[in-house]
Structures are given as C-alpha cells and as structure tokens.
C-alpha cells in the first residue's frame, strides 16, 4: 500500500518537477540574450544578434551592414563581405594571429591612416563544419582610443568580417555584450 502511494506521488510530482526544470532553463537562456535583437540577411545567408536600441544605417561604398547605438553613436557593428578564391579555406589564409595581423595592417590601421592598432588576442573556434577566427584589437587614434572585436569566417569564396567597436572609456561596460554579439554571427546556408 505504501509503495503504491509512493509511485502515485512520483507520477504526480515528476511532471511538475520536469516542467519546473524546463522553465528555469528557458528563463536562463532568454536572460543570456536579453537586450539583443536578431538580424538575418534578406537572402538568408547569415544572421547575428545586435543590441536593442541600435539602428541600421546605410553606408555607401563601405560595409554591407552597419548598426550603431542611438545614444553612443560611435559604438558600431559592421559586416564586410569580401570575395576571395573559392578554393581557399580560412586555414589557407593563415593562423588566427596571421589573419588578425593582416587585417590590422590593411583594414584597421593601414599605413597613412593616422591610426595605430594592436592585436590583443586571436583565437580559433569551430562552429559545426566552419572555422571562425575571433580577434580583439586596441586601436589608437589621435583624439581617442577604441576597442574592437571581430570574427572572421570564409565560406564559398566569401570572407565575412563581422566587427563591433566602441571607445575605450565604454569598453569595460560593453565587452561581455560585444563578445556575445560578435560570436553570434553565423552562416545559415
């Protein structure tokens, strides 16, 4: 009699316990992405998260996608897509450090730009079949210092460089969010 009462109690409590665990897990997941919106390209090729309150702006002759903060307008997200040899993979272009240094010299602080940049960190991560290089830069301009995070991935002859940038004064406040945004970049096809 006591055994059947315990079994009946377990049958009643188990579904409630499972529901509670799932609810806690879902709240934790949504809290991780709190304050972020999703963006997907019109062709369905890529997607990423961007901070709530940021707006997309059109830039002629520049990156394919640019978002900036309405309050701190010098905080930006940008996506540059470059055509490369379709037979290349990211590793053929070099290590994360080598690619990071190449971007530093040719894009972030090219000679004569008045900018100096230091590659602070370079790492590699695997997302499914794709390799991503995550890069961090300290950028020095005449009137201020900036911080930039970028991720680079190569797919089907296209090199995607997705970057988030802010002034050094705000870096400590936004670095965790910027890491989450930059590593959210994904290719969908």
Question: How much is the pLDDT for 73?
Answer: 84
Tell whether the model's pLDDT for residue 173 goes beyond 80.
yes
Q: What are the tokens at 54? A: 């940021």
User: How do residues 64-101 score in pLDDT, each as one tens digit?
Assistant: 999 999 998 889 999 999 998 888 888 888 999 999 99
Q: Say what the pTM is.
A: 0.80
Tell whether the model's pLDDT for residue 160 goes beyond 80.
yes
User: How do residues 8-39 score in pLDDT, each as one tens digit?
Assistant: 544 554 444 333 333 333 333 443 456 999 99
Average pLDDT, the chain: 85
Tell whether the model's pLDDT for residue 183 goes beyond 50.
yes
Question: How much is the pLDDT for 14?
Answer: 41
Question: How much is the pLDDT for 31?
Answer: 37
Question: How much is the pLDDT for 72?
Answer: 87
What DSSP string runs through the chain? -HHHHHHHHHHHHHHHHHHHHHHHHHHHHHHHTTTEEEEE-TTSSEEEEEETTEEEE--TTS-SEEEEESSSTT-EEEEEEEE--TT--HHHH--HHHHHHHHIIIIIS-TTSS-EEEEEEEEEEEETTEEEEEEEEEEE-SS-EEEEEEEEEEETTEEEEEEEEEEHHHHHHHHHHHHHHHHT-EE--
Question: How much is the pLDDT for 80?
Answer: 95
**Of 172 and 6, the one with more pLDDT:** 172
Question: How much is the pLDDT for 33?
Answer: 54
Percent of the chain topping pLDDT 90: 68
What would the mean pLDDT of 109-136 be, rounded to a whole number? Answer: 94
What would the mean pLDDT of 42-64 be, rounded to a whole number? Answer: 93
Question: How much is the pLDDT for 1?
Answer: 55
Buried b (16+ CB within 10 A) or exposed e, 83-94: eeeeeeebeebe
**Of 143 and 15, the one with more pLDDT:** 143
């Amino acid at each position: 009699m006591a055994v059947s009462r315990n079994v009946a109690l377990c049958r009643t409590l188990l579904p409630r316990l499972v529901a509670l665990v799932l609810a806690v897990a879902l709240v934790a997941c949504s809290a991780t992405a709190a304050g972020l919106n999703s963006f997907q390209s019109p062709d369905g090729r890529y997607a990423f998260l961007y901070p709530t309150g940021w707006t997309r702006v059109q830039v002629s002759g520049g990156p394919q996608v640019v978002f900036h903060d309405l309050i701190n307008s010098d905080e930006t997200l940008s996506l540059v897509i470059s055509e490369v040899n379709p037979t290349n993979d990211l590793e053929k272009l070099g290590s994360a450090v080598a690619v990071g240094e190449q971007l530093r010299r040719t894009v972030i602080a090219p000679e004569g730009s008045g900018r100096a940049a230091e590659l602070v960190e370079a790492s590699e991560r695997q997302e499914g079949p794709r390799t991503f290089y995550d890069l961090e830069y300290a950028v020095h301009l005449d009137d201020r210092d900036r911080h930039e995070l970028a991720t680079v991935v190569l797919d089907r002859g296209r090199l995607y460089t997705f970057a988030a940038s802010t002034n050094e004064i705000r870096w400590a406040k936004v670095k965790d969010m910027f890491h989450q945004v930059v590593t959210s970049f994904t290719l969908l096809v």
